[in-house]
Structure 1
Amino acid sequence: MDTASPPKKPIIPWRHAVLLGLSVMVLFLTVYCLQKGTQTVFTHVYYIPIILASYWYQKKGVLYSAVMGFIYLGFVIFLTGYNPFNVIGAVARVICFIVIAAVVMVLSMRISSQKADLEQSEAKFHGIWNHIQAAVIILDAKTHEIVAANPEAERLTGYPEQEMKGKICHRFICPAENGKCPITDLGMTIDRSERMLLNRNGNSVPVLKTVKAAVIDNREVLIESYIETAAVKGP
């Protein structure tokens, strides 16, 4: 389980270069094919930069598709003369360019919205995880290996999270022997029960312990929370 803060979105400067290169290639191909008398087939290449632009830049991508469409229409009229059949066909293709761009834009906006919601949820989770005034340790329910620990757990145990990960909880942070886990072996329910948490120095820290079973990323886990008894009772 990854509890690190989510990375910032990377800036992708090469998108402009890719789109510019594809645009130049498509326009040169248009001039070449029209001069050779070809009216169709090559126009399918337009969809590559149009789809990319609409996915990357959304509304600006639709504007880009319209600009590319009108440039294509201008080339048709300028290089082949005003032929009504050719012009009508070109106009129909321009409309297709814009419609495809609009569809891709809508899909891209939905994906971006879902990503934003997910990132917001992750930010809330990390805020709670890092600042909650209770130690939280997540264990693999089958192996009892420590999967994650929040900063308060690091403070209570004296171990950094990276050092705790992968360690078996028995005789490490929990005084219970292997095979005698109160939850998985003895079938006990622990809900704000007075227990002891072992720290790095081998000392026992009195805590109120709660354990709940859950499934995270298709993995059965135990979510253990600890509140230091001294903090509850006060001086």
Structure 2
Amino acid sequence: MPGKRRSVGGNTRLLLVAASVIVAFAANAAGLFFGITSVLPHLFYLPIVLVAYWFPRRGTASSLALSLGYLAMTLPFARGDAGLAVAALARAVVFVAIGAVVSLLSLRLREQEQRYRGVFDNSEAGTFIVAPENAGPRIEEVNYVGAALLGSTAKDLIGEPITRFLDDPGAWRDFQVKVRPDKAVYGYETALRRPDGVAVQVIVSGGRLPDGRIILTLVDITARKSAEDALRQANTKLNMMGRLTRNDLMSAVSGLLRRISEGMGEFDDPAVRRYLESLEEDARFVQRRAEITRDYQDLGLRPPGWQPLQEVIREVTSCLLLPGVSVRSWVERLEVFADPMLDRVYVNLIENSARHGETVSEVVITYQLRDDGLVIYVEDDGVGVPEAEKEKIFEYRVDGGGGLGLFLVREILSITGMTIQETGRPGEGARFEIHVPPDGYRLI
């Protein structure tokens, strides 16, 4: 059918061009017999422009042929009249120039249209052009992916109100407010409702065209949202299982410590008491590990977000008991994209300095902009970390040799692409460097 329509359209254009050529030559021939030579030649502009616009690759040759035909008809009537001959030659040159210019512009226009049509039709996103009308915004054009997204065909969707397919009718009003004439909207999430009742979750991007129409691109994220929900439910169940297991473990450890305490009061043999003391030390180690994991049971459960670092550190220091240690932070205006448990990062770093720094009197937190992102420094004036331990302090070891707190610090930061390392000089204080990727921070 499209090929047939193109054929019919091409035949109509050829008839119009032929009719305009016949009219132009007939009118000019009649005019020459009656001595009219300055007005009627303008009729040639019509076939020249039509051919150059509709058939741009033949526009220049056709205008040249029409010009030669005009000269062949006009020059015999000049009969030595140099003015008429010069005027005819000038018009012929203008005819050719107009044909060439219109052909060039038409070719450029066709190339841009083909490029646009290729992007529109072959995009993996559903693409719509919506025309605002008094009766409501209606679909003016849609590609195959967009039609499939709505469970229909492009032909059936033309003229349909876009609000008919929105699960929440108010979403379109909200979207229109965001799409101002000089703005575009990206990442707007909403739900569509197909005619068969099936809901489809999409991300919408759009912008307003100069004529007031709105172009939309829709990406189906239903599968992704389902996977996120399934993962969230799985994490919730795992956390619940971890909580129950930890409670059972804590109860068992408490019972073990109670029995060890009873044994310490019952036996006086030094060898037995030493054995019981070693058991008590191991049991308390397990107890401490279980207590620490309780603080991190929700790690990664909630989505990351932008957090004002100065406010996070202020809340952390207000809850910590740090006798003789002052915490100074110089991170105003800095926000980082991090897991909601970012506060536990700074709790552990500050407590680590106070507990292991021995001579620590202050902890200073600053930042520095770099070409590859941003670096946050957490420094103290304690004894520092020996070179051989700089990486080991972030490791988790079953024997308890590693620091579980710093291991979890690294895990929390890694959720949003941040890294941490210790770069201080032994004897001069510890210095933790947190590297934030370029898209993970902003200054407000």
Match of 1:145 among 135, 138, 142: 138
Gaps of 5+ in 2: 52-61, 228-444
2:19 alignment counterpart: 14
1:125-145 deviations in Å (ceiling 9; x for gaps)? 222212211111233468443
Report the alpha carbon displacement of residue 175 of structure 1 after superposing the two structures with TM: 0.9
1:173 alignment counterpart: 165
1:131-186 deviations in Å (ceiling 9; x for gaps)? 2111112334684433332211111112233443443333x221113477442368
User: TM-score, normalization: structure 1?
Assistant: 0.66
1:159 alignment counterpart: 152
8 Å CA contact 2:25, 2:70 repeated in 1: no
Output the amino acid matched with 1:69: T
In 1, Cα distance between equivalents of 2:194 and 2:69:
61
1:94 alignment counterpart: 85
Q: 1:156 to 1:184 in 2, by over 3 A?
A: same
8 Å CA contact 1:147, 1:165 repeated in 2: yes
Q: Secondary structure of 2:71's partner?
A: helix
In 2, Cα distance between equivalents of 1:226 and 1:121:
23
Output the amino acid matched with 1:117: R
2:193 alignment counterpart: 198
Q: 1:127 to 1:53 in 2, by over 3 A?
A: closer
Q: Secondary structure of 2:109's partner?
A: helix
Output the amino acid matched with 1:212: G
Q: Which has the larger radius of gyration?
A: 2
Q: Secondary structure of 1:58's partner?
A: helix
1:54-89 deviations in Å (ceiling 9; x for gaps)? 65632122222332233213xx3xxxxxxxxxx3xx
2:416 alignment counterpart: none
In 2, Cα distance between equivalents of 1:107 and 1:68:
20
Output the amino acid matched with 2:194: N
Report the alpha carbon displacement of residue 93 of structure 1 after superposing the two structures with TM: 0.7
User: TM-score, normalization: structure 2?
Assistant: 0.38
* Residue range with higher mean Cα deviation, 17-26 or 123-132: 17-26
1:133 alignment counterpart: 124
8 Å CA contact 1:54, 1:102 repeated in 2: no
In 2, Cα distance between equivalents of 1:185 and 1:201:
29
Q: 1:128 to 1:95 in 2, by over 3 A?
A: same
For residues 70-109 of structure 1, the aligned pairs below 5 Å read 70-73=75-78, 76=79, 87=80, 90-109=81-100
Task: Name which structure has the greater RCO, CA cutoff 8 Å, separation 6+.
Answer: 1
Report the alpha carbon displacement of residue 198 of structure 1 after superposing the two structures with TM: 1.6
For residues 216-227 of structure 1, the aligned pairs below 5 Å read 216=210, 218-221=211-214, 223-227=215-219
Q: 1:211 to 1:43 in 2, by over 3 A?
A: closer
Report the alpha carbon displacement of residue 104 of structure 1 after superposing the two structures with TM: 3.1
Q: 1:21 to 1:191 in 2, by over 3 A?
A: closer
8 Å CA contact 2:147, 2:154 repeated in 1: yes
* Residue range with higher mean Cα deviation, 197-206 or 106-115: 106-115
Alignment length (residue pairs): 201
In 1, Cα distance between equivalents of 2:116 and 2:156:
22
Gaps of 5+ in 1: 34-40, 77-86
1:211 and 2:205 aligned: yes
Match of 1:120 among 89, 111, 114: 111
Q: Secondary structure of 1:138's partner?
A: strand
Quote the sequence identity (%).
14
C-alpha RMSD of matched pairs (Å) = 3.7
Q: 1:197 to 1:53 in 2, by over 3 A?
A: closer
Output the amino acid matched with 1:153: G
* Residue range with higher mean Cα deviation, 59-68 or 133-142: 133-142
Q: 1:65 to 1:232 in 2, by over 3 A?
A: farther
Report the alpha carbon displacement of residue 190 of structure 1 after superposing the two structures with TM: 5.8
1:61 alignment counterpart: 66
Output the amino acid matched with 1:159: S
